[in-house]
């Protein structure tokens, strides 16, 4: 049931992102990745199923609003660098490899008898930290060369 609720949130976030975020502005959603990590950490305090459902919709909406612009940007850059087909293949490979690694890591942490609350905190910190590093890297790259200005986007 929680997966279905997250999926509803993802759909809401994806629709909003498609309507509100242009390709040129896609990098502006990076802070939502950081926020998503922080919100996921909030799950450790939830004891009421209705609050859990609401929080899962929010997490899903943040994920959908984050992923749609990032995928558009990755596919646009990939098309320029290596062609559309190769770009999508590389993206899908990396996504599936990441899922495999994270699932394996989760299984190892469970097997090590770590508390689910600690696992949630670790995952949340990892997600927020990685998104923060992506944001810092993007800002540094922008100081060296304004690659965002190269995006062909009529809605900017």
Percent of the chain with pLDDT over 70: 95
Q: Rounded to the nearest 5°, which phi and psi values hold at 24? A: -65, -30
Contact 13, 68 (CB under 8 A): yes
The pTM score is 0.83
pLDDT recorded at residue 5: 93
Distances (CA, A) of 79 to 45, 92, 110, 151: 43, 14, 40, 12
Examine the pLDDT at 90 and tell me if it is beyond 90: no
**Mean pLDDT over each residue of the chain, to the nearest integer:** 89
Q: How confident is the model at residue 156 (pLDDT cuts 50, 70, 90)?
A: very low
What six digits make up the tokens of 151?
């995006």
Could you read off the pLDDT of 103-146 as tens digits, one per residue? 999 999 999 999 999 999 999 999 999 999 999 998 898 888 87
> Within a 10 A sphere around the Cβ of 42, how many other Cβ atoms?
14
CA gap 115, 77 in Å, rounded: 40
pLDDT recorded at residue 45: 94
Domain range list for the chain:
2-147
Contact 71, 13 (CB under 8 A): no
CA gap 130, 137 in Å, rounded: 10
Of 32-36, 73-77, 134-138, the poorest mean pLDDT is in: 73-77
Q: How confident is the model at residue 155 (pLDDT cuts 50, 70, 90)?
A: very low
Count Cβ atoms within 10 A of the Cβ of residue 154 and give its class: 0-12 exposed, 13-18 middle, 19 or more buried: exposed
């Amino acid at each position: 049931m929680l997966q279905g609720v997250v999926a509803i949130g993802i759909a809401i976030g994806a629709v909003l992102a498609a309507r509100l975020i242009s390709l040129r502005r896609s990098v502006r959603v990076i802070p939502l990745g950081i926020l998503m990590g922080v919100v996921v950490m909030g799950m450790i305090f939830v004891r009421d199923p209705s609050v859990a459902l609401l929080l899962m919709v929010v997490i899903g909406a943040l994920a959908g609003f984050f992923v749609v612009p990032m995928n558009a940007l990755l596919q646009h850059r990939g098309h320029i660098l290596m062609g559309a087909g190769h770009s999508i293949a590389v993206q899908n490979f990396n996504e599936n490899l990441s899922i495999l690694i994270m699932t394996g890591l989760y299984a190892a942490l469970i097997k090590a008898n770590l508390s689910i609350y600690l696992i949630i905190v670790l995952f949340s910190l990892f997600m927020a930290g990685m998104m923060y590093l992506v944001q810092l890297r993007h800002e540094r790259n922008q100081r060296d060369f304004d690659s965002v200005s190269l995006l062909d986007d009529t809605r900017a």
